Amino acid sequence: MARELLAWEEALAGGGVPDVQVSADRAESPAMAPTAAEASAEPRVGSAERRARLEVLTAEAAACTRCDLHTGRTKSVFARGNPDAELAFVGEGPGYHEDQQGLPFVGKAGQLLDKMIVAMGYGRDDVYVCNVVKCRPPDNRTPLPNETAACLPYLEQQLASIQPKVVVALGRTAAQGLGLIDETTRGWRGAWRTWNGIAVMSTYHPAFLLRSPEMKRPVWEDLQKVMARLGKAPPPKKR
């Protein structure tokens, strides 16, 4: 594990990918059972229908006044990435750069998230990335419960349209926003939970990793569980 962690840290620093083995985890893990989304009787809509639904939601969010966060936004931040993705990441809310550009995870935390995605064996645009709230909270504060509740229908409809096999909740606020935990929950990260029929793994937010790089180890362990569940091997390590 120490060797894998070092490789991942090198990958995050230099853009390469770690040399890891996930096959053993897969063989032993109960996560090899079908995901809840896979087992769902709800048929997945076609790609064109999915994209059309998401376009409508994006336009609605851009004009939304359901909570006070609309008063300070430059642009609403709906999502980026692949609507057909098997893997989605859900963060907390937009920051300064996201608010300016109208795209999630484009600042330093976003750059780290992109390295995490590549280390997992995906391309940056292979996955779907969004937040619990679509408008930037002032001074990057944590979204208030009423703001999260007002915005939750967008996220519900997003994920219902995409039906990813796995969602990674980035940070405690995201996990709380999804209703998976509350403020008293201990051991909130690193365990599988189910949200509206979709398997969810909660882990630390990339912004937290920028401040606390020693926490890369547990995050990598969480991401390996996700890779095992999706049968995903990382790309070969760069030499």
Q: Is residue 82 close enough to count as binding ligand SF4 by CB under 6 A?
A: no
Tokens of 112: 């780290």
For residue 195, what is the enclosing H or E element?
strand 192-195
Strands 192-195 and 198-203: antiparallel
Given candidates 7, 12, 22, 69, which one binds ligand SF4 under the rule CB under 6 A? 69
Minimum separation from the CB atom of position 111 to ligand SF4 (A): 24
Determine phi and psi for 37, rounding to 5 degrees.
-65, -40
Segment contacting ligand SF4 by CB under 6 A, of 31-39, 49-57, 109-117, 146-154: 146-154
Spatial distance between the Cα atoms of 6 and 145, rounded to a whole number of angstroms: 38
Spatial distance between the Cα atoms of 83 and 129, rounded to a whole number of angstroms: 9
Name which of 29 and 157 has its Cβ closer to ligand SF4: 157
The contact pattern for ligand SF4, residues 98-137, with x = CB under 6 A and - = no contact, is -----------------------------------xxx--
Minimum separation from the CB atom of position 151 to ligand SF4 (A): 3
Minimum separation from the CB atom of position 157 to ligand SF4 (A): 12
Contact status, residue 218 vs residue 204, Cβ threshold 8 Å:
yes
Determine phi and psi for 133, rounding to 5 degrees.
-115, 145
Task: Number of residues interacting with ligand SF4: please give it, by CB under 6 A.
Answer: 14
Segment contacting ligand SF4 by CB under 6 A, of 49-57, 63-71, 100-108, 166-174: 63-71
